Amino acid sequence: MINRIWAIALNTFREAARIRVLYGIMVLVVGANLFAVACGKTSMHEEARIARDVGLAGISLFGSLTAIFLGVFLLYTEVQRRTIHAIVSKPIDRWEFVVGKFVGMALVLTVLVALFGAAMTVVLTWQGVGVSSAIAKALVLAWFEVLTVAAIAIFFSSFSTPFLSGIFALAMWAIGRVTPDIERATKSTSLAIRWTTKVTLEIVPDLHLFSVSGTAVDGSMVSVNGDFVSWDYVAMAAAHGLGWTVALLAFAAILFHRRDFV
């Protein structure tokens, strides 16, 4: 089982590595880091905070967009181009194929986040902005965020076209990123709206957990510039992301299992 999943994962990694748009995204992330440093220079004694926050936001944004792009295309094109016919006719279960595709994408995204992080560290160091352990925690959180977003994209891609999957995944990502704001905005509304919002937010992963710099966590403000969350918090957020990832992949596998490949 592991060998089959690994074979699919390696092939997916090989396929994704040949998509040139990823190299463009790398350039964008480096650009975002330079932009972050430029923003920091224009601020009043907040160079480090702005440079780090904008740099991390770039990793989160471009990482998530890459995850959506890969998630909605890599599974769909297997079916569309019929390459899947020569694969699922071999002794591999369809859920193994779905998990293999995810693991392959996770490998690509891991390499990307590592490269994004390295680029950010180089740019920040070069500009004389300090790099703290909080950055490492923030990067781990960003990593789990993009993996969760990849699982969301794969889930939609298991039954929908790339266009619709992309829209659904983007919507879920956007809602997931602002869950506390949505809760706050609906606090003083009617009971029906509050319950509808509550139910909606329950079926959307809380991606805000992964992007905490500059916001309140357990009542106090945290930032990569100063006080940051503990490793316990990072582990809790990672567990949340993994839980959603497993659930989404399970649903994707069930939907994929029922499909006819004509």
What is d(CA 229, CA 250) in angstroms, rounded to the nearest whole number?
A: 31
Q: Segment near another protein (CB under 8 A), from 77-85, 145-153, 205-213, 215-223? A: 77-85
Residues 78-97 that bind another protein (CB under 8 A): 81-83, 85-93
Q: Smaller CB distance to another protein: residue 18 or 187?
A: 18
Whole-number minimum distance, CB 99 to another protein, in Å?
14
Q: Cα–Cα distances in Å, from 126 out to 25, 65, 120, 130, 133?
A: 21, 27, 10, 10, 18
Whole-number minimum distance, CB 93 to another protein, in Å?
6
Q: Smaller CB distance to another protein: residue 86 or 192?
A: 86
Q: Smaller CB distance to another protein: residue 41 or 258?
A: 258
Q: Smaller CB distance to another protein: residue 18 or 45?
A: 18
Whole-number minimum distance, CB 21 to another protein, in Å?
15
Geometric angle at alpha carbon 182, from 181 and 183, rounded to 5°: 90
Whole-number minimum distance, CB 82 to another protein, in Å?
4
Whole-number minimum distance, CB 92 to another protein, in Å?
5
Interaction site with another protein (CB under 8 A): 3-4, 6-7, 11, 14-15, 18, 81-83, 85-93, 258, 260-262
